[in-house]
Structure 1
Amino acid sequence: MEHKLLKVSFPVLEELKIQKLPNIIEIWDKQLLIASEEESKSFCQLKDMTVSNCKKLVHVFQFNMLSRLQNLETFNVDDCPKMEAIVSEKGKEGTTSNDIIVFSQLTTLKLSELVSLKSFYNWPTRFEVQPLFNNKVAFPVLEDLEIEELPNIIEIWDKQLVIASEEESKSFCQLKNMRVSNCGKLVHVVLFNMLSRLQNLETFNVDACPKMEAIVSKKGKEEGSTSDDNIVFSQLTTLHLSKLVRLKSFYNWPTRSKAQPLFNHQVAFPVLKDLKIQGLPNIIEIWDKQLLIVSEEESKSFCQLKDMTVSNCKKLVHVVQFNMLSRLQNLETFNVDDCPKMEAIVSEKGKEGTTSNDLIVLSQLTTLHLSELVSLKSFYNWPTRSEVQPLFNHKV
C-alpha cells in the first residue's frame, strides 16, 4: 500500500514559542521553500517568535527561510548553549555575497544566555572573530535591543557598518531602548562611527561587563573629524551604568591626563532626566571641570536631570563640583550611598569667579537620601576655620 507524505502548513500563524525542546536540532526543513503553492505561504504571517532553552540548536534560521519572515516584529532567543549564530549560511544557494538580510518589520530583539554565540549571521570572512551585527544584516525599524550574557562577543557593531549600501544605511536608526548586560569580553559598546545612527536612543542601560573600559570608543573616528567633534545624545532621557569594574570614562577621547572624568565636555546629554551610576570603582570624577567652558550646543547638557543615583563608587571623593550646580536646577530625587571615600557631596572645586556669600540652592529637590558614606564630613565643604562642620551648613 502506497503511503503519502504528510506535510504541515501554517499560513496564518502569528505567534510561535519554542521552549525546552532538548532534542530539536533544526526548526525548519531546508526543503521548505521547495514546496507546493499551499505551503509557500507557511509561516509568512509570523509576527512574534520566542526560542528558549533548546539545548541542541546551533542556529534558529537557515538563510533560505528569511524571505518568509518579513512580518516578524518581536524576536527573543535565550538559553540555547550550543547556538553559534541566529542565522546560518546554510540554504544560501543561488545568492551572491552582496545579498543583505533585512528584517524589515522587526521592532524588538532580545538575545540572552547564548554562551556559544559568535555572530548574529555567520557569513564567510577572513576574520576569525566577527561582530555581533555585521554589515550583511539590517534592522531598519528596530526600537528595542537587549543583549545579555553573550560571553564570546567582543564587538556589537561592525566598523564597516556605516560604509554600507543605501538599504543598510538606515539600520538601527530607529533604536530607542538598548540594554547591554553581562557580556564578558566587551571593551566598549559603541564605535564612534555608529553614533550617527543612535540619535533616537531614549533609554540606555549597560551593566556587569567586567572588561568594559569605555561606553563609546574612539575607534572608527574618521580622519576627517577633529578633536572638537562633540557626541550628542539628543533624545536620551535615561542612562544607567552599573557594575563596570574597569570603566575609565564614558568616551575615551585622547587627553594628556591619565585619569578622565566619567563625562567629559566632548559628550552632551541635553534631555537626560534619569542617571544612575553604580559600581564604577575606577571613576574619580563624574563631571569634567571644563564642562561649563563649552559650545552653545553642549551648554544644556544635564540641565534636564531630575533623578540621580550614585552608588558603590569606591574612589569618588565628591559628586558635584561647584560649577556644575547651575545645571542641576531641575533635580528632584538625589540618592548617594556606599562611597567610602566621599568627603562631601558638593566640592568647592570649580568655584572660580564666585564670592563667599554665594548660596547653593537645589530649588526642585524633593527627595535626598545619603547612606553608607563613612568619610562624609559635610554636604558642602566650604572653607571655614572650624575643623568640624555640620552636615548642612548655611551655604546650602
Structure 2
Amino acid sequence: ALSSVIPCYAAGQMQKLQVLTVQYCDGLKEVFETQLGTSSNKNRKSGGDEGNGGIPRVNNNVIMLPNLKILEIINCGGLEHIFTFSALESLRQLQELKIEDCYRMKVIVKKEEDEYGEQQTTTTTKEASSSKKAVVFPRLKYIALDDLPELEGFFLGKNEFQMPSLDKLIIKKCPKMMVFAAGGSTAPQLKYIHTRLGKYSLGECGLNFHQTPSPSSHGATSYPATSDGMPWSFHNLIKLDVKYNMDVKKIIPSSELLQLQRLEKIHIDSCSKVEEVFETALEAAGRNGNSGCGSGFDEPSQTTTTTTVVNLPNLREMKLDEHVFTSSMVGSLLQLQELHISGCDNMEEVIVQDADVSVEEDKEKESDGKTTNKEILVLPRLKSLKLEDLPCLKGFSLGTAFEFPKLTRVEISNCNSLEHVFTSSMVGSLSQLQELHISQCKLMEEVIVKDADVSVEEDKEKESDGKTTNKEILVLPRLNFLILNGLPCLKGFSLGKEDFSF
C-alpha cells in the first residue's frame, strides 16, 4: 500500500504543484514523506535536509512546495497528521485546506521529532527560538475540518499561528478538539465559525479557546452536541443550520432556550427523526422523569412543568423541515422575514396551540358557557411564506387567528390536505400581499374561507331580525400576481357573500 504521497526523492519535481487532492487511501501514513520516515533505508536518495522531520529540501534552505494553493485530504484513515512543523515555511501560497473523514487524525501540524521518533523538547537556544517563532499563513482563506473523531487540535506546540486572510473556518464532528493552537492564534478577518449545528459568532477569545470534555457533550443522541463538543455556546449562535442528521430528535434543549438572543436564521433540512426544533420545559420534565440517567441539562429544566417562553429577538429567516412551533413562541419571532417549510410528511399545522393553553380555554368555556374571543397573533415583519410538500397540512394554525401586515409573497404547492389558505378575518392584514401562487393542492376548495364563528354569528342575527346585513367588501389592494394551478376541487376564490376588490 502507498505509505506516502510525495516521497523525499521527488522533492525537486514539486515546485509547480498548486493543487493536491488525496482520497480513499487508508494505508497512507504520511502525505509528505519525511527524512525521519526513511532513515532506515540505506539506499535513500540524497537531497533532503537530514532530520528536518518535514517536507524534503533540495538544498538546506529550500523547501520544495512553494506554490501549493489547495490541499484536500479525504477518507485517509491511517493518517495521524498532515504536516510537520518544519514544513510550514513552504506553504506561504496555501489558500484552502480541507481535511475530512480521517478517523485517526490527531493534529493537523505535528511537532518535530528526533531521530528516534520522539517529540523534541526544547533544550538549545536555537530550538527555544524556533519554539517561540510565529507561524504565518499569509494567504490561507479557508479551513474545513470535518469528521475527525480523534482530532485534539490544529497544532499543540507553543508557536503562535497568524492567519491574516482567513475568513471561513468549518469545524464539524471533531468532539475531542479542545484547542485550536495551544500557543495562540490570530485571524482578524474571521467573524464566524461554522459547525454541525450552525454558524457562531466569535467570542472575545476568538480561536484562543481551551476546553476540557464535559459530560453534556456526550451521551444521549436526543440533541446534537453544541458544535460537537466545542466551547462556543448557544449564546453565540447566529444561524441554526442542521442538515442530513438522522439521529437527533430535538434540536435545541429546554435548558438552552434563553440563550438564543443572537439567533437570526433557522434552516432545518432532511432530518428524518426531528420532532421539534425547540424542546419545551414540560417535555423536558417528562423526559427526565422517565430517565434515570443524567443528560447534562440544568436542574431547573428538569423540574419545571410550565411552558418556556422562547425569545428570538433577532430571528429573520426560517427554512424548516420535519417540525412545528407552538403559539407561545410567536411573540419571539418579531424579526422573522422569511418562512419556508417543506417535506414534513406528518405536519398538520405550522403553529400549534400550546397544550396547557388549550386546556385552560376549555375550562373557561365550561365554566361560563361562552366562547371567549380568539387571541390574534401577529408576525409583524414576515414578508415571504413558502409551504411545499406537506401532504397532511390542514392550516397555518387551526386554533389561532393570525395577521401578516408585511406579507408580500405566498407560495403553496403539493399540500394535498389543505382546503383553504386564509380565513376572511385575515384578509384585512394582507394589505401588502403582491404575489399568490397556489398549485397542486388536490383538496383545495377556496382560497379564502369565511371564519366559522363569524358565519354562525351572522346566521343568528338573520334569525333574530329577519334582515340581511350589507355585504362586507374585502380588499387586497396590492395583489398583482395570482396563479392557481392544479386545483381539481377548487370551487371559487371565496364562496362567502363578501365582495372582493383587487
Q: Same fold (TM over 0.5)?
A: yes
Cα deviation 1:70-112 (Å, max 9, x = unaligned): 99753346xxxxx8x23325789x9xxxxxxxxx955362649
Indicate the SS of the match to 1:161.
helix
In the alignment, the residues of structure 2 paired with residue 277 and residue 323 of structure 1 have an alpha-carbon distance, to the nearest angstrom, of: 21
Give unpaired runs (5+ residues) of structure 2.
1-38, 40-49, 55-85, 113-120, 123-129, 183-188, 198-211, 281-307, 362-373, 459-468
Aligned residues of 1:109 and 1:146 also touching (Cα < 8 A):
no
| Cross-structure match for 1:232 | 332
| Cross-structure match for 1:107 | 192
**In the alignment, which of 99, 122, 131 is matched to residue 37 of structure 1?**
131
- Cα shift at 1:147: 2.0
Aligned residues of 2:325 and 2:350 also touching (Cα < 8 A):
yes
Amino acid at match of 1:203: E
In the alignment, the residues of structure 2 paired with residue 175 and residue 367 of structure 1 have an alpha-carbon distance, to the nearest angstrom, of: 33
In the alignment, the residues of structure 2 paired with residue 228 and residue 144 of structure 1 have an alpha-carbon distance, to the nearest angstrom, of: 21
Amino acid at match of 2:334: S
- Cα shift at 1:394: 5.4
- Cα shift at 1:283: 2.2
Aligned residues of 1:309 and 1:336 also touching (Cα < 8 A):
yes
| Cross-structure match for 1:179 | 267
| Cross-structure match for 1:195 | 310
In the alignment, the residues of structure 1 paired with residue 320 and residue 471 of structure 2 have an alpha-carbon distance, to the nearest angstrom, of: 41
In the alignment, the residues of structure 1 paired with residue 222 and residue 232 of structure 2 have an alpha-carbon distance, to the nearest angstrom, of: 13
Cα deviation 1:325-381 (Å, max 9, x = unaligned): 101111000111111111111112254678452122110101000011100011110
Indicate the SS of the match to 1:378.
coil
- Match status 1:26 vs 2:105: yes
- Match status 1:161 vs 2:225: no
Indicate the SS of the match to 1:309.
strand
Cα deviation 1:98-149 (Å, max 9, x = unaligned): xxxxxx955362649xxxxxxxx97435733252243953265553443211
In the alignment, the residues of structure 2 paired with residue 139 and residue 289 of structure 1 have an alpha-carbon distance, to the nearest angstrom, of: 32
- Cα shift at 1:201: 1.4
| Cross-structure match for 2:6 | none
Amino acid at match of 1:376: L
CA distance change for structure 1 residues 124 and 180 in 2, over 3 Å: closer, same or farther? same
Counterparts of 1:165-314 in structure 2, within 5 Å, are 172-192=260-280, 195-196=310-311, 198-207=312-321, 209=322, 212=323, 214-215=324-325, 231-252=331-352, 253-254=354-355, 255=358, 268-288=378-398, 290-291=400-401, 301-314=403-416
- Cα shift at 1:291: 2.0
Indicate the SS of the match to 1:50.
strand
Aligned residues of 1:110 and 1:147 also touching (Cα < 8 A):
no
- Cα shift at 1:184: 1.4
Counterparts of 1:334-349 in structure 2, within 5 Å, are 334-349=436-451
**In the alignment, which of 131, 142, 147 is matched to residue 48 of structure 1?**
142
Indicate the SS of the match to 1:195.
coil
In the alignment, the residues of structure 2 paired with residue 111 and residue 3 of structure 1 have an alpha-carbon distance, to the nearest angstrom, of: 40
CA distance change for structure 1 residues 275 and 109 in 2, over 3 Å: closer, same or farther? same
In the alignment, the residues of structure 1 paired with residue 332 and residue 240 of structure 2 have an alpha-carbon distance, to the nearest angstrom, of: 20
In the alignment, the residues of structure 2 paired with residue 228 and residue 137 of structure 1 have an alpha-carbon distance, to the nearest angstrom, of: 27
Aligned residues of 1:328 and 1:362 also touching (Cα < 8 A):
yes
Aligned residues of 2:409 and 2:433 also touching (Cα < 8 A):
yes
Higher radius of gyration, 1 or 2: 2
Select the structure that is richer in helix. 2
| Cross-structure match for 1:150 | 245
CA distance change for structure 1 residues 177 and 291 in 2, over 3 Å: closer, same or farther? same
- Cα shift at 1:231: 2.9
In the alignment, the residues of structure 1 paired with residue 215 and residue 162 of structure 2 have an alpha-carbon distance, to the nearest angstrom, of: 23
CA distance change for structure 1 residues 15 and 4 in 2, over 3 Å: closer, same or farther? closer
CA distance change for structure 1 residues 342 and 111 in 2, over 3 Å: closer, same or farther? same
- The count of residues paired between Structure 1 and Structure 2 equals 324
Aligned residues of 1:30 and 1:62 also touching (Cα < 8 A):
no
- Match status 1:4 vs 2:71: no
In the alignment, the residues of structure 1 paired with residue 163 and residue 261 of structure 2 have an alpha-carbon distance, to the nearest angstrom, of: 19
Indicate the SS of the match to 1:277.
strand
Amino acid at match of 1:151: M
Aligned residues of 1:232 and 1:267 also touching (Cα < 8 A):
no
- Cα shift at 1:157: 2.5
CA distance change for structure 1 residues 247 and 41 in 2, over 3 Å: closer, same or farther? farther
In the alignment, the residues of structure 2 paired with residue 110 and residue 127 of structure 1 have an alpha-carbon distance, to the nearest angstrom, of: 19
Amino acid at match of 2:472: D
In the alignment, the residues of structure 1 paired with residue 222 and residue 492 of structure 2 have an alpha-carbon distance, to the nearest angstrom, of: 51
Calculate the aligned-residue CA RMSD, in Å: 4.4
In the alignment, the residues of structure 1 paired with residue 237 and residue 424 of structure 2 have an alpha-carbon distance, to the nearest angstrom, of: 41
Indicate the SS of the match to 2:350.
strand
Aligned residues of 2:351 and 2:397 also touching (Cα < 8 A):
no
In the alignment, the residues of structure 2 paired with residue 236 and residue 309 of structure 1 have an alpha-carbon distance, to the nearest angstrom, of: 17
In the alignment, the residues of structure 2 paired with residue 308 and residue 24 of structure 1 have an alpha-carbon distance, to the nearest angstrom, of: 46
- Match status 1:62 vs 2:156: no
Amino acid at match of 1:366: N
TM-score (norm 1): 0.66
CA distance change for structure 1 residues 69 and 141 in 2, over 3 Å: closer, same or farther? farther
- Cα shift at 1:305: 0.4
Indicate the SS of the match to 1:8.
helix
Aligned residues of 1:318 and 1:345 also touching (Cα < 8 A):
yes
| Cross-structure match for 2:488 | 374
Give unpaired runs (5+ residues) of structure 1.
78-82, 95-103, 113-120, 164-168, 217-226, 258-263, 293-300, 384-392
Amino acid at match of 1:177: K
CA distance change for structure 1 residues 290 and 190 in 2, over 3 Å: closer, same or farther? closer
Aligned residues of 1:175 and 1:200 also touching (Cα < 8 A):
yes
Q: % of aligned pairs identical?
A: 18
- Match status 1:128 vs 2:220: yes
